[in-house]
Structure 1
């Protein structure tokens, strides 16, 4: 009985050399392409994981910056609120109150102005000097909110144009009550939007990256890049972060297409409960993978070059094998003819039963 290994060996020996060569080259090509694809896909996953970690850390850092910025302002507002509610004598002297507001505002880089309004919305004092606006502010959203709500928490309203300076501001305010607990006015700080934009400009995000400071309902307070009325005061209510992600976790990272421009981005988000703010950092997925794309293209070119070189080598080898087979066939044919002629010339031709067929 023949051994299985010997049978396989005989079958391989019976296979044409051209077939074995083609099979070997095909196996090498498939291995090269498969390994390159696996390595590229693994590198892509690593790049995305690193990008997610970086984006989430950046989001948390910016959320902390926003919280600290508003907390500093809120501390000043609480001090003013306490002074007014206790009936400190400074609160009855407009010049002294103006000086105090000016001192507070001067110590806060993010603040454009501090204001005190009475229960009718009239100005009592401001940290600003001469301003263009001297009317009432009872129509402002923050004033109406405090007039209708007794909350002791600070209130941050949507970004607006300042009537005093014409600049974009983010109002943060507190309710002032009299000794009977009735509404007695509002203390207000106007935070410069430019303060956040200046800070965000120093962060490298790529051409399609974005930083958004918003309310939890999606109302944008500030955004980099900034596009004036087109964005500020608009809503991101249909964004996946607002509709779904926030309900699942106060912070995280998702990959979605932006509501505003349709670009697929990696979004890190962080909710600031203390001031009802939301910070989002968006990085274009295409730009995040730009280095990986370049490396993959270079790797593909190298693999393609190797395949071309090996294909040319295989073509030459196949031709050599074909030429060798042709020479071998010609030698066998020549050898056979020589033997026939030799036998025919032999004196024994015709006498031998085994060679009579050639005679």
Structure 2
């Protein structure tokens, strides 16, 4: 009970710990999965946004490139003076182009000295030297195609927003340098576009050159920013990386892609703090539901634990009260048992004492003397039976198990049961056709069956029907703990048509000395013997009763496979034999019992040697084991028991048989006699002589065979 309670408390405590640990573990796993999922989603979003920004930038630069090519074709082969002469028309044409393309601030045509021949801003253009501009100098030495320059500010007298240039060399028929055609591109055009597509918190866009110079950045900052730098060398076309901006110190997840045929990178990204914020938002949504649910579960388990602890404390108090009550009941039962034993033994001792006193009177006739002697003998037998019944109830008697068929054994008791119950009681036996073998003490089984029959007779007041049923069953019915067996059970039922047993008496029917019979009609030990024998044999006894209709007592004894052996020999029926000079080593610590055994054996013609302990017996055997034909030893002795002595004799291989005797031995009741012959106390001289002759004859036969 305490183990189950502690287990339930530990289980609740583990459940409380699990109610916290498991959600935390699951939250950790979910958080990890969500973290990577959020980052993967962010990368996918960056890739999609980069696709849009790349496509937009590519179209813008292709449009500008195509426009510059068209202008170059218009003025191709026209000398500078011819262009100047046509300046108003060309100015109008360039202005139309700049107005039609919102990304353009202006369009210019320069001569070989860096002076503007035509532009879209002013007509005629002011004389200003632009030969120091990078978009001009880049084309002087050779034709490099399209050149995209750094961000510049307008030169006086021109004003307006900053720009970056896209330029190309003016082509001539002989391939010489004639000047530059240049378009000024507004960074704010890209910034406005990026603002429209980058509305998520932490969004980032950049347009930069392959050398790392940033042309456009959203959101804009005051400082120049070299974002990509040398980090794209591993993947110069496209990639995804996490970088920290040196301009603002913000870490970002950035995807970049180069425009085809142009020295320009488009970048799109998200601040890692924004990605983390998304992750934290997702986690917080889990926590909104998870924390209250976990707290509620923990609270419920805590309440269950407290309630269970209170229930266990209450159960412990109740158990203490029940134990106190049971202790009082045990003391009461012990007092009843002690009183019953004292009463019955006092009656027996009275008979013995009276018979002894009468035997001491002079001038007794031989008939009266024999009657008193028989009275003493019969009283001793009754006392032995009483102690055997007590030991049976306590499950401490030494059983002599043997294999026998229950059906044949019950059939053999039919006449005896009929004699005990009387002719007014009809006896019905239902026996199985196939053998039902059990391995137990046959005499104790017969005693149990007779006790149940006598109990049934008394319940029927000497008239009715007694049914004895024997059959094989697979298991014991009911919720009780099943005894261990491999071959099922043999059920032996004794059913009567008597008065039945009231429900309030069910718990006491197997108590020793409990009886509902009148004084002198029974000892109250019959059913206790049935209970003790059945339990010690590894079986179960079940009682069913209905007041006014009768009772059924059923013994369930473990069934074993086997072949029927020869009928048991009742040694009591064989006549006693003389000793014929057989030498017996008697080992008995009780000197009076030992002297009786030695004197009785001497009277019967045995040669006896009496010792009072096992060590002296071993010394005698060590001196000359061949001097003894048999060893007769008590079991219960100090220091070394008779069973230990027998095992030591067997270990030393002394060629002498052993007979053990005991009134009661815990070892023998638990484990049997270990293959040694056993004589139960009290015994008569004739019984002792018979078992010694049995052992002695067996030894003589073996010795003769050896010769």
Higher relative contact order, chain-length normalized (CA < 8 Å, sep 6+): 1
* Alignment RMSD (CA, Å): 2.9
Is it true that 1:50 corresponds to 2:49 in the alignment? Answer: no
Is it true that 1:64 corresponds to 2:55 in the alignment? Answer: yes
Is it true that 1:284 corresponds to 2:271 in the alignment? Answer: yes
Q: Which has the larger radius of gyration?
A: 2
- What is the Cα deviation at residue 64 of structure 1? 1.8
Q: 1:128 aligns with which of 121, 129, 133?
A: 121
Q: Any idea what SS the aligned residue of 2:197 has?
A: coil
Count of aligned pairs: 337
Aligned pairs for 1:90-239 (under 5 A) are 92-129=85-122, 134-148=127-141, 150-163=142-155, 164-227=158-221, 230-231=222-223, 234-236=224-226, 239=227
Matched residues in 2 for 1:74 and 1:327: separation? Answer: 94
Aligned pairs for 1:241-256 (under 5 A) are 241-256=228-243
Matched residues in 2 for 1:345 and 1:59: separation? Answer: 96
Q: Which runs of 5+ in 2 are unaligned?
A: 343-389, 391-707
Q: Any idea what SS the aligned residue of 2:261 has?
A: helix
Aligned to 1:259: 246
Name the CA shift for 1:98/1:307 in 2 (closer, same or farther; >3 Å): closer
Aligned to 2:73: 82
- What is the Cα deviation at residue 201 of structure 1? 1.7
- What is the Cα deviation at residue 247 of structure 1? 3.0
Matched residues in 1 for 2:2 and 2:109: separation? Answer: 99
Report the TM-score, using the length of structure 1 for normalisation. Answer: 0.83
Matched residues in 2 for 1:101 and 1:184: separation? Answer: 19
Aligned to 1:4: none
- What is the Cα deviation at residue 280 of structure 1? 0.7
Name the CA shift for 1:340/1:224 in 2 (closer, same or farther; >3 Å): closer
Aligned to 1:30: 21
Q: Which runs of 5+ in 1 are unaligned?
A: 1-9, 355-359
| 2:20 and 2:298 in contact (8 A); partners too | no
- What is the Cα deviation at residue 22 of structure 1? 1.2
| 2:209 and 2:263 in contact (8 A); partners too | yes
- What is the Cα deviation at residue 256 of structure 1? 2.7
| 1:131 and 1:165 in contact (8 A); partners too | no
- What is the Cα deviation at residue 38 of structure 1? 2.2
Q: 2:259 aligns with which of 263, 272, 278?
A: 272
Aligned to 2:449: none
- What is the Cα deviation at residue 17 of structure 1? 1.8
Aligned to 1:3: none
Matched residues in 1 for 2:337 and 2:312: separation? Answer: 33
- What does the per-residue CA deviation read over 1:109-139, in whole Å, with 9 as the maximum and x for residues that have no partner? 2211111111111121111136996411111
Higher helix share: 1
| 1:170 and 1:221 in contact (8 A); partners too | yes
Matched residues in 1 for 2:3 and 2:238: separation? Answer: 63
Matched residues in 2 for 1:216 and 1:271: separation? Answer: 8
- What is the Cα deviation at residue 170 of structure 1? 1.3
